Amino acid sequence: MSTHKPSAPETMTELAALIGTWRMDAVFADGRQGPPGDSGARTVFEYGPGAQFLIQRWRVPHPAAPDGIAIITVDQARDGYLQHYFDDRGVVRLYQMTFAAGLWTLERTAEDFSPLDFAQRWEAELAADGQTTHGRWLHRSPSGEWSDDFTLTFMRLPAS
């Protein structure tokens, strides 16, 4: 078995596949589904100045879901990316992130800016045509087992 780790990304170019506006649809672990049809939930990815970071903004017109922004940048120390998360509830989180060959992960398993109330993981795959991303958010129980919170599908919208 190889112990070779992929090298850290040197630029943000591999994240170009995320650039654009995406519709979001959620299905919860308890079987609840987001509003039928297009609820208006959107996320937008765009490069920041100098393309040294990626900005993600989302809006979810549902009172139980937060709107927010995330800033993603290369993290050479951890061989991947860091996502700095902020939402309209005042929640601030730091996630370790990978994105390679269409596989996208986010993970928060240690204290960052606040006590770690629960560990989280995002696992997603970008479809081969680049138009859909299917993913799921998980949380870790106190016993250490990962459980589904909800699935989230992103569908790319045409550029306007």
Has residue 42 been placed in a domain?
yes
pLDDT over threshold 70, residue 4: no
Residue 2 has a pLDDT of 39
**24-77 confidence digits (pLDDT tens):** 998 877 666 655 667 789 999 999 988 889 999 999 988 888 999 999 999 878
Return the structure tokens found at 58: 């989302």
Has residue 8 been placed in a domain?
no
Has residue 136 been placed in a domain?
yes
Instruction: Please report, for the domain that includes residue 107, its CATH number.
Output: 2.40.128.20
Has residue 2 been placed in a domain?
no
Please give the residue that has the higher pLDDT: either 117 or 85.
85
Has residue 6 been placed in a domain?
no
Q: How confident is the model at residue 87 (pLDDT cuts 50, 70, 90)?
A: very high
Has residue 40 been placed in a domain?
yes
Question: Cβ of 77: how many Cβ atoms within 10 Å?
Answer: 8
Has residue 34 been placed in a domain?
yes
Q: Domain count of the chain?
A: 1
The SS3 of residue 6 is coil
Domain region containing 37: 13-156
Has residue 44 been placed in a domain?
yes
The pTM score is 0.85
Q: Residue 153 in contact with residue 134, Cβ under 8 Å?
A: yes
